[in-house]
Amino acid sequence: MNKQYRTGDQNWVRERNLAIVLNYLWEAGQPISRADLARTSGLNKSTVGSLLTQLQSWGLVKESGTSNQRPGRPGVLIDINPDAGRIIGAEIGVGFITVIVADMKAKVLWRRNVETTEAGKPLTELSQAEVLEQAEHLLQEAIAKAMTCDCRLFGIGLGVPGLVNHSTGTLLFAPNLGWRNVPFRDMWYQRFGVPVIVENEANAAALGEHVLGVAKQLDNFVYLSAGVGLGGGLVIDGKLYGGTGGYAGEIGHMTLEPEGPQCNCGNRGCWEMLVGPRAILQRVRQAAVEGRAPDLLARCSGNANAIQMEHVLQAAAQGQPAVLIALAEVGRYLGIGIANLINALNPKMVVLGGVLSAVSPYILPRAQYEVNQRALETAREGMQIKISAFQLDACVMGGVALILRGILNNPVIWQQKVAPISHLDEHSVFSATVL
């Protein structure tokens, strides 16, 4: 027998009930009465009262107005306390770092994004040590901002563009950064003294959509994140699907063209080589070189290599045919890949984030056409393709969601100033059914 089962003593039942009450309060999204909370949760009123007193003593919930809906004494309403503490969401991407500070209701209070250093050198050209120094500097600023509320800092949720070992919080390999074995969790826990949860950026973003964004209450969906690479976060039966080692979701490396362009992973014709921003720029630059996009080329002083995504977006908005054709071609490959995912996973939704969300008006119609042509009708029935609620901030909001989910799923651990990070269950997506 390899499997360990945790038995349920009284403390365990109380821990679960505290989590359940907190989750119901979170999902209500507005102040609710003790009576409504008892009715929704199925717990009796006195138990709910005792659990709320405990949560209130930790500052996680607060009284918020009264209800006059029923005859008699007005009932006191309870809500999540936004000032229970602060949460930091961070992303180290390819060529940028983003850090945000949010309150307990996931409202963003502070945001910084750096793309280049003061010397004007792209971050991708910087050494790993230089990028880490820059990230730590931003985190120090964020922590200083978080501390102005005179409340606790719950932790840092970090998204990184690569494979993550969840039990150690180590970035194992980030192909597009060329980094290996960075022990972010231990490194930053020692440095900043707060819990750090590390997750692959697409997984983090998927969690962000599930907890805070367009995929709330959805138990089966796929998040597609296009940055320099193309990452995927799979939520299956209400949980982030990790596979045997936690490395599932590398859908950007599905082969779509056996003889296609060489990918950083070592394979050829990977999906991310055909639909990511690199693919878009390469197609548009090619069109410019061939004389099919003269206006665009003129705007870049005749240098096709100077064409960037912002130029592509402007040209697409003006309806320049060669650019629209290039984007439709990218939409075609996007749709082919999505059709494969639909046939394999039968998701309720596919969420597009990152750069794909910005170009979606130009690529989605063709992508949807391919899906209709190629995915099995039964598997795609009722399936929607939606744009991320947070677009370029999907990953940092996912970082916030990583910490928030930890608090909602186990408030007992998180009421301590510094949570014992080894106790975090880093893989289950929270929902009303936290058990």
Query: Is 256 near Zn ion (CB under 5 A)?
Result: no
Question: 163 or 288: whose CB is closer to Zn ion?
Answer: 163
How many CA atoms are closer than 13 Å to the CA of 108, on its beta-carbon side?
16
Question: Which range touches Zn ion (CB under 5 A), out of 262-270, 350-358, 377-385, 412-420?
Answer: 262-270
Distance between CA atoms of residues 282 and 276, nearest Å: 10
- Count of residues in contact with Zn ion, rule CB under 5 A: 5
Question: Which range touches Zn ion (CB under 5 A), out of 56-64, 256-264, 321-329, 376-384?
Answer: 256-264
- For the chain, the C-alpha Rg in angstroms (whole number) is 23
Question: 183 or 269: whose CB is closer to Zn ion?
Answer: 269
Question: 263 or 288: whose CB is closer to Zn ion?
Answer: 263
Question: 86 or 253: whose CB is closer to Zn ion?
Answer: 253
Phi, psi values for residue 426, rounded to 5°:
-90, 0
Token pair 């859908």: residue:
251
Question: 251 or 392: whose CB is closer to Zn ion?
Answer: 251
Binding mask 211-250 for Zn ion (x = CB under 5 A): ----------------------------------------
Applying CB under 5 A, among 149, 265, 309, 328 the residue interacting with Zn ion is: 265
Sign of CA dihedral 103, 104, 105, 106: positive
Burial of 59 (0-12, 13-18, 19+ CB in 10 A): middle
Question: 49 or 269: whose CB is closer to Zn ion?
Answer: 269
Nearest-approach distance from CB 198 to Zn ion, in angstroms:
22
Question: 94 or 424: whose CB is closer to Zn ion?
Answer: 94
Question: 143 or 270: whose CB is closer to Zn ion?
Answer: 270
Structure tokens at 144: 């200083």
Applying CB under 5 A, among 210, 253, 283, 380 the residue interacting with Zn ion is: 253
Question: 156 or 270: whose CB is closer to Zn ion?
Answer: 270
Angle at 280 between CA 279 and CA 284, to 5 degrees: 115
Nearest-approach distance from CB 265 to Zn ion, in angstroms:
3
Burial of 188 (0-12, 13-18, 19+ CB in 10 A): buried
Nearest-approach distance from CB 269 to Zn ion, in angstroms:
8
Query: Is 263 near Zn ion (CB under 5 A)?
Result: yes
Nearest-approach distance from CB 270 to Zn ion, in angstroms:
3
Question: 164 or 404: whose CB is closer to Zn ion?
Answer: 164
Query: Is 123 near Zn ion (CB under 5 A)?
Result: no
Residues 267-296 that bind Zn ion (CB under 5 A): 267, 270
- Helices 309-317 and 321-345: crossing angle in degrees, nearest 10, is 100
Binding mask 396-435 for Zn ion (x = CB under 5 A): ----------------------------------------
Task: Give the binding site for Zn ion (CB under 5 A).
Answer: 253, 263, 265, 267, 270
